[in-house]
Amino acid sequence: MFIQRLLSAAILVPLVAGVTYAGGLWFFVATVFAASIAGYEFFHMMRLRGYKPSSFWGLALIWLLLADARYPAWQLAKPALTGVIVLSLSWQLFKKDTATPTVDWALTVAGALYLGWMASHFISLRDAPRGFEWMVLT
């Protein structure tokens, strides 16, 4: 187990450092990839507990929040949040295979907000002036 963690660190630390140094689109793509994996794991854990959150709507919100951080002039956050809340809630109204549609909806939105909103700060920080230095500090 320790060897596996050591090998993972030996591969991932230089990779993350390189992507962070490169910044720009490389850092954005890496952050989207990491947040997508985290979103998939979150929704999978909720399914193991018997809930049925929507991976589609959750990942869509995560991606839109990250895109908003990368391209702030597009102002995607408010329309994305509004659209995903309304559309995912409407989607839950028509699902017949769940006993807890409100909880499933809340887990979809809360999980996506937690992961997407928090990860978007890494993108905003890296894209800021002297962003690499701030990333090294964090």
pTM for this prediction:
0.91
| Helix and strand numbers, DSSP H then E, in the chain | 6, 0
pLDDT for residue 107: 97
> Maximum Cα–Cα distance for the chain, whole Å?
51
Model confidence over 5-63: pLDDT tens digits? 999 999 999 999 999 999 999 999 999 999 999 999 999 999 999 999 999 999 999 99
Model confidence over 109-133: pLDDT tens digits? 999 999 999 999 999 999 999 999 9
